[in-house]
Amino acid sequence: MTNDADAPTPPADAERVADRLHSASIHLLRLLRRRDDEGGVTAPHLSALSVLVFGGAKTLGELAAAEQVTPPSMTRIVRNLEADGLVERGTDFADRRVVRVRATEEGRRVMLAGRARRVAALAERLAKLESDEVALLEAAAALIERVARGNP
Amino acid sequence: MTNDADAPTPPADAERVADRLHSASIHLLRLLRRRDDEGGVTAPHLSALSVLVFGGAKTLGELAAAEQVTPPSMTRIVRNLEADGLVERGTDFADRRVVRVRATEEGRRVMLAGRARRVAALAERLAKLESDEVALLEAAAALIERVARGNP
DNA sequence: TTGAATAATTAGTTTCGCTAACTAAATTGT
DNA sequence: ACAATTTAGTTAGCGAAACTAATTATTCAA
């Protein structure tokens, strides 16, 4: 495995890049996966919560779609978040089937604190990179996000 | 997000980038997990197998380290791979505590096929990007890999 | 030679995601 | 208007993945 982070326009075959990106993502998440005992908030919870904090209230279905999980999975995530007082559910009066979910103030605080804590190990390592490398990673994150959804 | 790696030093705060990278990785892997269920080999298995195929035989402990999981986790992965005939275990004659693991021929074939299947959805989407965007992602993958391990 | 260290395994727990089947509410078609 | 269909969400249950703690087997060192 030779390093081609700085190679001059390599033959960037989509499949090879896909494979590396896949592999890199697995290893990155394993680094961050460990449970956050202090806050008790796991990565998927934090992720859903941050959608609510930054994107405002959503229906359960919208949240499931945003997080790319099935509705039953999101039902469970929301139930746990509610039990911890981090989100609130309300019924939509126009359509009583839908469940509206929004972050509580505590949810907002916990999300911000938990995120900082969870991401600290990574941020620490990023701080050691050159600034152009960090910029590259930021651009890449946006691209990956776009690719993971349907390139919208 | 039109700027590249050579953008004029944006305020690339490490923590913000860490958060986005984290989020992007979660979503990317969720996308790929679904595709993967169509085949018999799961992502962690494939990942470990590819270490063996590309890196040659390893001890169980080395494999655990390479994959950033604990030894018990790797024990289970290897047991499953062995049950499927994809790897073989052998005792090291110099030190009878260690378990040497190597991919079988079938393991090699299955790994390559599985990887192609797994990565197809991603590669398809990558193919729609500009070539400089793909190159950026490739460089990012290498960087992420470096960061996820201890920046060596 | 006995005791500490190392490699791997076993046992048990937790979290997460899925599918299938269900309830409840809204919409549609006759 | 009311039966049939569609839509939103929930419940129940399965399987995969990862962890910690404790155990076994082997090696190394005092």
| CA atoms of B79 and A25, how far apart (whole Å) | 24
- Whose tokens are 């959608």? That residue is A51
Identity of the amino acid at A13: D
Count of residues making up chain A: 152
Question: Which pLDDT belongs to residue B36?
Answer: 56
Question: Which pLDDT belongs to residue A115?
Answer: 77
| CA atoms of A37 and B70, how far apart (whole Å) | 19
- Whose tokens are 């994959």? That residue is B67
Nearest 5°: phi and psi at B40?
A: -85, -20
pTM of the model: 0.80
Instruction: Please give the angle made by the CA atoms of B1, B7 and B11, to the nearest 5 degrees.
Output: 85
Nearest 5°: phi and psi at B89?
A: -105, 145
Determine what percent of chain A is predicted with pLDDT higher than 90.
Answer: 54
* Beta strand segments in chain B, E: 58-59, 87-91, 99-103
**Smallest CA–C1' distance to C27, residue:** A95
* B8 close to A144: Cβ distance less than 8 angstroms: no
* A51 close to A86: Cβ distance less than 8 angstroms: no
* B110 close to B67: Cβ distance less than 8 angstroms: no
pLDDT in tens, chain B (152 residues): 433 333 333 345 888 898 889 888 888 888 877 655 556 788 889 889 999 999 999 999 999 999 999 999 999 999 999 999 999 999 999 999 999 999 999 999 988 887 777 777 788 889 899 999 999 999 999 999 888 877 66
| CA atoms of A142 and A70, how far apart (whole Å) | 23
pLDDT greater than 70 at residue A62: yes
Are A22 and B123 in contact (CB < 8 Å)? no
| CA atoms of A112 and B47, how far apart (whole Å) | 32
Question: Which pLDDT belongs to residue A34?
Answer: 60
Question: Which pLDDT belongs to residue B121?
Answer: 78
| B-contacting residues in A 1-40 (Cβ below 8 Å) | 1, 3-6, 9-10, 12, 14-32
Are A25 and B25 in contact (CB < 8 Å)? yes
Nearest nucleic acid nucleotide to A96, CA to C1' distance: C25
**Smallest CA–C1' distance to D27, residue:** B95
Q: What are A71-125's pLDDT values in tens digits?
A: 999 999 999 999 999 999 999 999 999 999 999 999 999 988 887 777 777 888 8
